[in-house]
Amino acid sequence: MDLPEGLASSGALEIRARLSSISAGKILDVATGDGDFIQTLMKALKDYDSFVGIDHSEDEVKKAKTAFDEEPVEILQMDAEDMDFEDGSFDTVSISHSLHHLANIDAVLSEMKRVLKPGGHVIVQENYSDPGQTEAQMTDMLAAHWDAEIDTLLGKTHFKTLRKREIRDYVEALGLGGLDVSDTTHPVKCLFCEKVFECADPLNENVVSFALEEIDRNLARFGGLQDADAARLAEEGERLKERIRRFGSSSPSTLFLVGTK
Ligand SMILES: C[S@@+](CC[C@H](N)C(=O)[O-])C[C@H]1O[C@@H](n2cnc3c(N)ncnc32)[C@H](O)[C@@H]1O
Q: Residues 221-259: pLDDT tens digits? A: 988 899 999 999 999 999 999 999 999 999 999 999 999
Distance from the alpha carbon of residue 33 to the mean position of ligand 1, in angstroms = 5
CA 261 to centroid of chain Cα atoms:
22
**Nearest atom in ligand 1 to 95's CA:** 6
Tell me phi and psi for residue 260, to 5 degrees.
-125, 150
Angle at 170 between CA 104 and CA 181, to 5 degrees: 140
| Model pLDDT for residues 113-147, shown as the tens digit of each residue | 999 999 999 999 999 999 999 999 999 999 999 99
**Helix, strand, or coil (residue 128):** strand
Which of 98, 115, 147, 193 to mutate for ligand 1's pocket (most ligand atoms within 8 Å of CB)? Answer: 98
Ligand 1 atom nearest 79 alpha carbon? 20
Residue of 184, 176, 132 whose CA lies nearest to 14: 184
Q: Is the pLDDT of residue 49 over 70?
A: yes
In the chain, which ranges are E strands? 26-30, 50-55, 73-77, 90-96, 116-127, 177-184, 254-260
- Distances 54 to 33, 43, 63, 93, 112 between C-alpha atoms, Å: 8, 20, 12, 11, 11
Which residue from 37, 40, 55 has its CB within 8 A of the most atoms of ligand 1, so it is best to mutate? 55
CB 258 within 8 A of CB 180: yes
Band of the pLDDT at 2, cuts 50, 70, 90?
confident
Domain ranges of the chain: 12-260
Nearest CA to ligand 1 atom 3: 33
pLDDT in tens, 146-202: 999 999 999 999 999 999 999 999 999 999 999 999 999 999 999 999 898 888 899
Residue 163 Cα distances to 18, 100, 134, angstroms: 23, 10, 16
pLDDT tier, 1 (very low <50, low <70, confident <90, very high otherwise): low
- The strand pairing partners of 52, in sequence order, are 28, 74
20 pLDDT band, cuts 50/70/90, is very high
Give the integer Cα–Cα distance in Å for 92 and 113: 10
Dist. CA 42 → ligand 1 center (Å): 19
Question: Is 12-260 assigned to CATH 3.40.190.10?
Answer: no
Q: Is the CB of 102 under 6 A from ligand 1?
A: yes
Q: In what order do the strands lie in the sheet with 73-77?
A: 73-77, 50-55, 26-30, 90-96, 116-127, 254-260, 177-184
- Residue closest by Cα to atom 9 of ligand 1: 36
CA of 1 to the centre of ligand 1 (A): 34
Average pLDDT in the chain: 96
**Rounded distance from Cα 63 to ligand 1 centre (Å):** 12
Cα atoms in the 13 Å half-sphere on the side-chain side of 209: 4
Alpha carbons 68 and 252: distance in angstroms, whole number: 27
